[in-house]
Amino acid sequence: MRNEHVKDVTIKDIAQHLGISHPTVSRALRDHPSIRAETRLAVKEAARQLGYIANSGARTLSRTRSELIGVIFPDVQNDFYSRTMSTLASMFLERGFKLVLATSEDSAETEFKHIQSLREARVAGVIIAPTANLKNESVELLRSIPTVQLLRSHPLLECSIIKLDERSGIATAMEHLIEKGHSRIGFIGGSGTLSTGVDRAAGYIDALQGHGIPLMRALLRQGPPRPHFGYQAMSDMLSMKAPPSAVVMASSELTLGGIEAIQERKISVPADLALIAYHDPAWFKLWGAGITCLRLPIEQMAAAAAMRLLNQILADAKSPMCAGSETLDADTPFASQLVVRGTT
Amino acid sequence: MRNEHVKDVTIKDIAQHLGISHPTVSRALRDHPSIRAETRLAVKEAARQLGYIANSGARTLSRTRSELIGVIFPDVQNDFYSRTMSTLASMFLERGFKLVLATSEDSAETEFKHIQSLREARVAGVIIAPTANLKNESVELLRSIPTVQLLRSHPLLECSIIKLDERSGIATAMEHLIEKGHSRIGFIGGSGTLSTGVDRAAGYIDALQGHGIPLMRALLRQGPPRPHFGYQAMSDMLSMKAPPSAVVMASSELTLGGIEAIQERKISVPADLALIAYHDPAWFKLWGAGITCLRLPIEQMAAAAAMRLLNQILADAKSPMCAGSETLDADTPFASQLVVRGTT
DNA sequence: CTGTTAGCGCCTTCAA
DNA sequence: TTGAAGGCGCTAACAG
Which pLDDT score, from 0 to 100, does residue A314 have?
87
**In chain B, what are the domain boundaries?**
11-52, 64-163+299-333, 166-295
Is the CB of A58 less than 7 A from some atom of nucleic acid strand C?
Answer: yes
- pLDDT for B6 equals 66
Q: What is the mean pLDDT of residues B284-294?
A: 97
**How far apart are the C-alpha atoms of A247 and A174, rounded to whole Å?**
9
Could you give the 3-state DSSP secondary structure of residue B71? strand
Facing residue for A120 by CB, picked from B53, B86, B120 = B53
Query: Which residue has its C-alpha nearest to nucleotide C6's C1'?
Result: B62
Query: Does the structure show a pLDDT above 50 at B96?
Result: yes
Does the pLDDT of residue B287 top 90, yes or no? yes
Tell if the CB–CB gap between B121 and A100 is shorter than 8 Å.
no
Mean pLDDT for all residues in chain A = 92
A34 Cβ contacts chain D strand, under 7 Å: yes
The hierarchical CATH code for the domain A64-163+299-333 is 3.40.50.2300
Cβ-proximal residues to A223 (8 Å cutoff; 6+ apart), any chain: A190, A191, A229, A232, A233
* pLDDT of amino acid B205: 97
Of B56, B60, B144, the CB nearest to A4: B144
Chain A's closest residue to B81, CA to CA, is A77
User: How close does chain B come to A336, measured CA to CA in Å?
Assistant: 21
Helix (H) or strand (E) holding A103: strand A98-103
| Secondary structure (3-state) at A222 | strand
Q: How confident is the model at residue B328 (pLDDT cuts 50, 70, 90)?
A: very low
A121/B128 Cα distance (integer angstroms): 23
- The phi, psi pair for A39, rounded to 5°, reads -65, -35
- pLDDT value at position B35? 92
Mean pLDDT by 10 residues, chain A (344 residues): 64 94 94 91 94 94 92 94 94 90 94 95 96 95 96 94 96 96 97 96 96 96 97 97 97 97 95 97 96 98 96 76 46 93 96
Among chain A residues 16 through 45, which have CB within 7 angstroms of nucleic chain C? 22-23, 26-27, 29-30
Within 7 Å of a protein beta carbon, the nucleotides of strand C are 1-5, 7-13
By the 8 A CB rule, do A134 and A113 touch?
A: no
A64-163+299-333 and A166-295 in the same fold: yes
Predicted confidence (pLDDT) per residue in A111-136, tens digit: 999 999 999 999 999 999 999 999 99
B20 in contact with nucleic chain C (CB within 7 A): yes
Q: How far is A245 from chain B (nearest CA, A)?
A: 21
DSSP string for A5-34: -PPPP-HHHHHHHHTS-HHHHHHHHTT-SS
Nucleic strand D within 7 A of Cβ B7: yes
| pLDDT value for A6 | 64
Taking the C-alpha atoms of residue A269 and residue B210, their distance in angstroms, rounded to an integer, is 44
Contact: A57, B79; criterion CB under 8 Å: no
Q: What is the rounded CA–CA span in Å between residue B257 and residue B262?
A: 9
In one-letter notation, the amino acid at residue B256 is L
- CA distances A163 to A73, A131, A299, A307, Å, are 15, 15, 13, 14
Mean pLDDT along residues B160-176: 96
Distance from CA of B341 to the nearest CA of A (A): 14
d(CA A20, CA A192): 64
On chain A, the residues whose CB falls within 8 A of the CB of B114 are: 93
Residues in B touching A99 (Cβ below 8 Å): 100-102
Phi, psi of B15 (to 5 degrees): -60, -50
- Per-residue pLDDT, B64: 86
Cβ of residue B32 lies below 7 Å from strand D: no
| First-residue to last-residue Cα distance in chain B | 58
Query: Who among A66, A282, A323 is closest to B227 (CB)?
Result: A282
pLDDT of residue B322: 43
CA dihedral B289, B291, B293, B298 (to 10 degrees): -100
Q: Does the pLDDT of residue B30 top 90, yes or no?
A: yes
Amino acid at the residue A337: Q
For residue B320, pLDDT over 70 is answered with no
Question: Rounded to whole angstroms, how far apart are CA atoms B40 and B94?
Answer: 24
What type of residue sits at position A54? A
- With 60 as the cut, is the pLDDT of residue B1 above it? no
DSSP H helices, chain B, are 11-18, 22-29, 37-50, 56-63, 79-94, 108-120, 136-142, 166-179, 195-210, 227-238, 252-264, 298-318
CB atoms under 10 Å from CB of B307, counted, come to 14
Q: Quick one: DSSP state of residue B164?
A: B
Contact A75, A81 (CB under 8 A): yes
CATH 3.40.1080.10 fits A166-295, yes or no: no
Enter the CATH code of domain B11-52.
1.10.260
Report, as an integer, the average pLDDT of B255-280: 96
Q: Go through A86-115 and write b for each residue having 16 or more CB atoms within 10 A of its CB, e for each that does not.
A: bbbbebbbeeebbbbbbbbebebebbbebb
Q: Is the pLDDT of residue B324 over 60?
A: no
pTM: 0.92
Partner-chain contact A121 B101, CB within 8 Å: no
